[in-house]
C-alpha cells in the first residue's frame, strides 16, 4: 500500500459563524444556521490510499474487504489489499459522462453476502439525446457485473444536477436522491411554486423510496394520490449528493448543494417539502440576484444546518467507529468548491457545533467510514481516495 503523507492540517477555530444574512433579511433562527462550538482537538493525518483515479465519485466496501470506487467516466474500480486493480469491473452499464453526469454512486445490497447484488446510480442517455438519472443493479461475482437491470429511471429533463446518492434503511428499502436538473428558478412566489422541484408529477429534486427490486412500497407517503409519482418520499430539493441513515437512530440525513450560499443539511421525513426554490438562504451564482421569497414558509421544512457561503456539499457520514472516539456521533460533510471536510456535532436533530477539517487538499466528493473505523475521503481532483488516521 502506498502511503503519501500530507501536511497535517489541524484547524480548530476554523468555524467563523458570521451572522448570515438571509434573503428576507431575517436573522437565522436557533438551530439551522451557522453555529459555533463543538471544536475538539483530535489529532489526525490524511493518508493517501489510492490515487491515479479519474474523477472518483463514491466508495463502498464488500464483505471480502475489497473497496469499490466509481469513476465518473463510467468505470468501477476495485481496490484489493490496498492496491488499485488495473482492470475496471466488466459489465457496468453505459453511462453518459458529460458535465456532472456519468457513473455516480455504488452501494452493495445489505444482504450482499448472500445475494451478491450491487447497485449503481448514473446518468444515462435517452434516445432523444437527453439524459436522466438511472439506478441499476446486477450480480457482482468474479470481479464482474452480470444480469444488470435498470430498476429506476428519473422522470426529469435538464442539464446537470443528477444527484444521486443511494442508501438502504434497516428494512432494506432503497432511497435515491435525484437533482432538480438545473432548471433555473425565476420570478415571484407563483413562478417559484411552479418550478419542477415543487411538482410531484416529476422527479426533479426528490428523494425516492423503493423496494430493493424497484417496486414502489405500498406505504410510501404519496401512494394513492392522483398526479403524483408514487415513489417520491420527499421533495423540494435542489441537488443532494450526500445521504445516509444514522446507524444508531435510523434518522435519514441528506445534504444538498444550494445556489451561491445556501447549501443545506436536512433531516428527511416522509412526504415533506424541503422548499427549493421557494425558500432558502442563497442567491444566484454570478449575479448575486435574489432567488427565494424568503427563508421560511409554512409547509416547508427548514434545514437543520446551512452554509453561507456554500462549500458545495457532497458526501455525508455519521461516524460510529472506534478510531476517533471523540468524533462518534458526529456528522461529516464533504465540500467540493470549499475543499474542506465539515464536522457537525448533533444533539438529536439539532446541529450544535461545526469545525472545519482537511482544508485545501482538494475537492471532496464522498465521505465514508471504512470497515476499519477510519474515515475515507474521495477527492474529485486530484482523483484519489485518502483516509483520516489518528495521530499527527
Active site residue ranges = 161
Q: Which helix (H) or strand (E) holds 102?
A: none
Grid cell 461545526 — which residue? 354
Which span sits near Ca ion by CB under 5 A: 105-113, 165-173, 272-280, 281-289? 272-280
- DSSP string computed for 83-132: EE-SSPPBTPPP---STT-SEEEEEE-TTHHHH-EEEEEEEEE-TTS-EE
Cβ 38 vs Cβ 355: under 8 Å: yes
274 interacts with Ca ion by CB under 5 A: yes
Report the residue number, 221 or 275, with the smaller CB distance to Ca ion.
275
Which of the residues 60 through 99 are near Ca ion (CB under 5 A)? Answer: none
Which span sits near Ca ion by CB under 5 A: 96-104, 120-128, 270-278, 371-379? 270-278
Which span sits near Ca ion by CB under 5 A: 114-122, 186-194, 266-274, 350-358? 266-274
Cβ 151 vs Cβ 213: under 8 Å: yes
Least distance (Å) between residue 296 CB and Ca ion: 10
Phi (first) and psi of residue 86, to 5 degrees: -65, -45
Report the residue number, 119 or 175, with the smaller CB distance to Ca ion.
175
Report the residue number, 134 or 300, with the smaller CB distance to Ca ion.
300
Least distance (Å) between residue 294 CB and Ca ion: 12
Taking the C-alpha atoms of residue 302 and residue 266, their distance in angstroms, rounded to an integer, is 8
Taking the C-alpha atoms of residue 152 and residue 164, their distance in angstroms, rounded to an integer, is 12
Phi (first) and psi of residue 131, to 5 degrees: -145, 150
- Return the half-sphere exposure (C-beta side, CA atoms, 13 A cut-off) of residue 103: 27
Report the residue number, 301 or 389, with the smaller CB distance to Ca ion.
301
Taking the C-alpha atoms of residue 350 and residue 33, their distance in angstroms, rounded to an integer, is 11
Report the residue number, 241 or 361, with the smaller CB distance to Ca ion.
241
- Which residue's C-beta sits nearest to Ca ion? 275
- Judged by CB under 5 A, the number of residues near Ca ion is 2
Least distance (Å) between residue 274 CB and Ca ion: 4
CA angle 384, 389, 392 (to 5 degrees): 110
Per-residue binder mask for Ca ion (CB under 5 A), 216-255, x = binder:
----------------------------------------
Q: Please identify which residue in 108, 221, 275, 282 interacts with Ca ion, judged by CB under 5 A.
A: 275
Taking the C-alpha atoms of residue 183 and residue 14, their distance in angstroms, rounded to an integer, is 34
Which of the residues 12 through 71 are near Ca ion (CB under 5 A)? Answer: none
Which span sits near Ca ion by CB under 5 A: 101-109, 186-194, 239-247, 271-279? 271-279
Report the residue number, 119 or 306, with the smaller CB distance to Ca ion.
306
Alpha helices by DSSP H, listed for the chain, are 112-115, 189-193
Strands 252-257 and 239-245: antiparallel
- Return the half-sphere exposure (C-beta side, CA atoms, 13 A cut-off) of residue 174: 28
Least distance (Å) between residue 204 CB and Ca ion: 14
Q: Which residues bind Ca ion (CB under 5 A)?
A: 274-275
Amino acid at each position: 500500500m502506498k502511503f503519501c503523507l500530507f501536511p497535517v492540517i489541524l484547524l480548530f477555530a476554523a468555524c467563523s459563524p458570521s451572522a448570515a444574512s438571509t434573503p428576507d433579511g431575517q436573522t437565522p433562527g436557533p438551530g439551522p444556521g451557522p453555529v459555533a462550538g463543538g471544536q475538539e482537538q483530535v489529532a489526525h493525518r490524511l493518508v493517501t490510499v489510492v490515487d491515479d483515479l479519474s474523477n472518483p465519485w463514491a466508495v463502498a466496501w464488500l464483505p471480502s474487504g475489497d473497496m469499490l470506487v466509481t469513476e465518473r467516466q463510467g468505470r468501477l474500480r476495485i481496490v484489493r489489499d490496498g492496491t488499485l486493480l488495473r482492470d475496471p469491473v466488466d459489465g457496468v452499464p453505459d453511462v453518459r459522462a458529460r458535465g456532472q453526469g456519468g457513473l455516480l454512486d455504488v452501494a452493495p445490497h445489505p444482504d450482499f453476502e448472500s445475494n451478491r447484488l450491487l447497485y449503481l446510480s448514473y446518468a444515462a442517455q435517452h434516445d432523444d439525446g437527453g439524459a436522466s438519472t438511472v439506478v441499476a443493479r446486477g450480480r457482482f461475482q468474479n470481479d464482474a457485473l452480470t444480469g444488470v437491470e435498470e430498476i429506476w429511471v428519473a422522470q426529469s429533463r435538464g442539464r446537470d444536477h443528477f444527484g444521486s446518492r443511494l442508501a438502504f434503511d434497516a428494512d432494506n428499502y432503497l432511497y435515491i436522491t435525484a437533482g432538480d436538473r438545473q432548471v433555473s428558478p425565476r420570478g415571484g412566489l407563483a413562478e417559484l411554486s411552479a418550478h419542477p422541484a415543487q411538482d410531484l408529477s416529476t422527479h426533479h429534486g426528490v428523494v425516492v423510496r423503493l423496494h430493493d427490486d424497484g417496486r414502489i412500497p405500498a406505504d410510501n407517503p404519496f401512494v394513492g394520490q392522483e398526479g403524483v409519482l408514487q415513489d417520491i418520499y420527499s421533495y423540494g430539493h435542489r441537488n443532494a449528493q450526500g445521504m445516509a441513515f444514522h446507524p444508531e437512530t435510523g434518522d435519514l440525513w441528506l445534504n444538498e448543494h444550494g445556489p451561491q450560499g445556501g447549501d443545506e443539511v436536512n433531516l428527511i421525513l416522509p412526504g415533506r417539502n424541503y422548499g427549493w426554490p421557494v425558500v432558502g438562504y442563497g442567491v444566484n451564482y454570478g449575479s448575486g440576484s435574489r432567488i427565494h421569497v424568503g427563508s421560511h414558509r409554512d409547509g416547508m421544512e427548514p434545514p437543520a444546518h446551512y452554509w453561507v457561503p456554500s462549500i458545495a456539499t457532497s458526501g455525508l457520514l455519521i461516524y460510529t467507529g472506534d478510531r476517533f472516539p471523540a468524533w462518534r456521533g458526529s456528522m461529516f460533510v464533504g465540500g467540493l468548491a470549499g475543499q474542506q471536510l465539515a464536522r457537525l456535532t448533533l444533539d438529536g436533530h439539532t446541529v450544535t457545533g461545526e469545525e472545519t477539517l482537511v482544508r485545501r487538499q482538494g475537492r471532496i466528493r464522498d465521505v465514508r467510514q471504512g470497515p476499519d473505523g477510519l474515515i475515507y475521503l474521495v477527492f474529485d481532483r486530484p482523483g484519489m481516495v485518502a483516509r483520516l488516521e489518528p495521530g499527527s
